[in-house]
Structure 1
Amino acid sequence: MVMTLPWNVKRRFTEAINTHDVQRVVEFFSPDAVFVSPSGVAEGREQIAWVYEQFFKGFPDFRLIPWYEVFDCDEPMVAEWTVTGTHTGPFLLPDGRVIEATGRRITIRGSCASFIENGKITTHREYFDQLELYTQLGLCLTEPSTVS
């Protein structure tokens, strides 16, 4: 099967993620790109770099393994993946709290959709279950406190 240019970009992007080369990762994005994930929205290369830095700090052995790619369309490019890693560094939660290293291994399943124009990612949307991640880190849900 012949790969299209956008799929080549997406494959090299995954390689950059797996080498934890944040500078190389953000070079795959257009300067005004938007990155959307369960953790929030990052706009522009600086914010996108920060998101990846948080994952690489918390999980120094972070590894993204694509296992299904929808090859019959280039817009958006859709893939399913698994992320593995060991929580050996601080990890920032969306609410601003930091989870110190737990030593726990994670395996998270997810998917993403990417839009690429002129060889750069303009929009990248990731979908994964935050509860799956937090449970594997040993966090648990608590009932919200009631305010009288």
Structure 2
Amino acid sequence: MVMSTFWDVKRRLTDAINSHDLDRVLECFSPDAVVVSPYGVAEGREQIAWMYEQLFTGFSDFTLTTWFEVTGTDIPMVAEWTSTGTHTGPFLLPDGNVLEGTGRRIAVRGTCASFVENGKITTHREYFDQLEMYTQLGMGLVAVDQVPPSDREELAPQPSH
């Protein structure tokens, strides 16, 4: 049996994501893996599955194109990518609301770092500009003073003690 390299695991994950094959996505992760992204923190395969389901439901043609890999190291494996897709279905927003399909296309650049042990990803961290994505979906920032007073408390920064 040929041992797969760390990069083989990472590339299998990209292929599984592009196929929207949730079972294959989860096979790339250890049972107690952690994914950290602008969407939040997912711990374990159940939460990781939920996160990818949201993405595949919201963007039926979601594709991840890796355009740079830092191949001089395996710990962590770092790649830069562009994700593209059409917003065709419901997509969960950071505030808990759902944005129904808009038909708008997104093209968002990002990067990720992955750690692999025993042929499975144990930690995967990805970073991308949420404002870039949400702007492409037709959303924008709202100044706190433009928010109705009843909603301001949850948006205001909390004093540190």
* TM-score interval for Structure 1 and Structure 2 normalised by the shorter chain: over 0.9
Question: Aligned pair count?
Answer: 145
Tell me what 1:24 maps to: 24
* % identical aligned pairs: 70
Tell me what 2:117 maps to: 117
Tell me what 1:98 maps to: 98
1:41-92: per-residue Cα shift (whole Å, max 9, x none)? 0000000000000000000000000000000000000000000000010100
Question: Tell me, which stretches of 5 or more residues in structure 1 are unaligned?
Answer: none
Distance in 1 (CA, whole Å) between partners of 2:75 and 2:140 is 38
Q: 1:143, CA displacement in angstroms?
A: 1.1
Provide the secondary structure at the position in 2 that maps to 1:139. Answer: coil
User: Structure 2 matches for 1:1-148, cutoff 5 A?
Assistant: 5-144=5-144, 145=147
Provide the secondary structure at the position in 1 that maps to 2:125. Answer: strand
Q: TM-score, normalised by structure 2?
A: 0.87
What amino acid sits opposite 1:110 in the alignment?
A: G
Provide the secondary structure at the position in 1 that maps to 2:106. Answer: strand
1:102-141: per-residue Cα shift (whole Å, max 9, x none)? 0000000000000000000000000000000000000011
Provide the secondary structure at the position in 1 that maps to 2:25. Answer: helix
Question: Tell me, which stretches of 5 or more residues in structure 2 are unaligned?
Answer: 154-161
Provide the secondary structure at the position in 2 that maps to 1:60. Answer: coil
1:29-48: per-residue Cα shift (whole Å, max 9, x none)? 00000000011100000000
What amino acid sits opposite 1:48 in the alignment?
A: I
